[in-house]
Amino acid sequence: MKKFFIALVMLVMTAGAAHAQWYVGGGIGFGTSNSKNNNGQVVNKRTQFTFTPRVGYIINDNWLAGVKLGLTTGTYGSWGAQKGTSFMIAPYARYNFARLGRFAFAAEASIEFSTFGTSEAPKQSGFGFGLGIEPVVAFDINEHWGLETTIDLFRFGYQYTGTDTEGVKTSSNAFNIGVDGDNIFNLGGLTFSVIYKF
């Protein structure tokens, strides 16, 4: 029985390795927004730049696994006076549940670890931990190149954030599940990436 189990494991690993393929990709993003008071004066301005590289492994036609990184830097606050940076790393697994021609529709589950900090007073620093599931649409341009979009329309997740603001420590927990129709019209809820398969 033990020999049979070892042979079965080796067979599955060999079959998976014959089809397996590495891929790299990523995206960049830019966003800006501002809020005004009754007098038309800007009270909060936000500008940010995001870089999100990823590397992954195509196990078979339906399963992918990998890790994605995120680096965001920007300004916010009154007239954009506060500068901040955040870094994120998230291992993920993806299941393609449907295919239509060159399109693949998938669900991606990830475990996200993040850290952030600001450089101007009042200085803040902190970390976050989250679990999430979100839909993905992928399009194969050819054998090597592809496009992907992550749609933050439906999201299930848990997020813990710990913050240190000049010695005052706070923490927050957030759980969300459901559909956010506002993100249909918000480019922050729609992420595009380019993928290259080896």
Beta bridge mates, 115: 87, 127
Instruction: Check if the beta carbon of residue 173 is closer than 8 Å to that of residue 120.
Output: no
Residue type at 191 in one-letter notation: T
Instruction: State whether residue 108 is helix, strand or coil.
Output: strand
With respect to residue 11, please indicate whether it lies within any of the assigned structural domains.
Answer: no
Q: Which among 126, 30, 36 is positioned nearest to 78, based on CA atoms?
A: 36
The residue with tokens 């603001």 is 165
With respect to residue 36, please indicate whether it lies within any of the assigned structural domains.
Answer: yes
Specify the higher pLDDT residue, 188 or 53: 53
Q: Which two tokens stand for residue 63?
A: 């399963």
What pLDDT sits at residue 83? 83
With respect to residue 6, please indicate whether it lies within any of the assigned structural domains.
Answer: no
Least confidently predicted of 50-64, 85-99, 107-121, 155-169: 155-169
- Phi and psi for 123 in degrees, rounded to 5? -70, 140
Q: Angle CA(62)–CA(66)–CA(72) in degrees, nearest 5?
A: 130
Instruction: Check if the beta carbon of residue 197 is closer than 8 Å to that of residue 23.
Output: yes
Strands 145-151, 82-100: parallel, antiparallel or unpaired by DSSP?
unpaired
With respect to residue 86, please indicate whether it lies within any of the assigned structural domains.
Answer: yes
What pLDDT sits at residue 107? 93
Indicate the pTM of the whole model: 0.70
- Phi and psi for 121 in degrees, rounded to 5? -70, 140
Each residue's pLDDT tens digit, 141-190: 999 999 998 876 555 666 677 777 777 788 777 776 665 544 444 444 56
With respect to residue 10, please indicate whether it lies within any of the assigned structural domains.
Answer: no
Instruction: Check if the beta carbon of residue 143 is closer than 8 Å to that of residue 197.
Output: yes
With respect to residue 3, please indicate whether it lies within any of the assigned structural domains.
Answer: no
With respect to residue 168, please indicate whether it lies within any of the assigned structural domains.
Answer: yes
CATH code for position 105: 2.40.160
| Structural domain containing residue 108 | 22-197
Residue 39 in this model has a pLDDT that exceeds 50: yes
With respect to residue 9, please indicate whether it lies within any of the assigned structural domains.
Answer: no
Number of domains comprising the chain: 1
The residue with tokens 């299930």 is 156
What pLDDT sits at residue 154? 58
What's the rounded Cα separation, in Å, for the pair 163 and 117? 9
What's the rounded Cα separation, in Å, for the pair 79 and 108? 37
What percent of the chain is helix, strand and coil (3-state, nearest 5)? 15, 70, 15
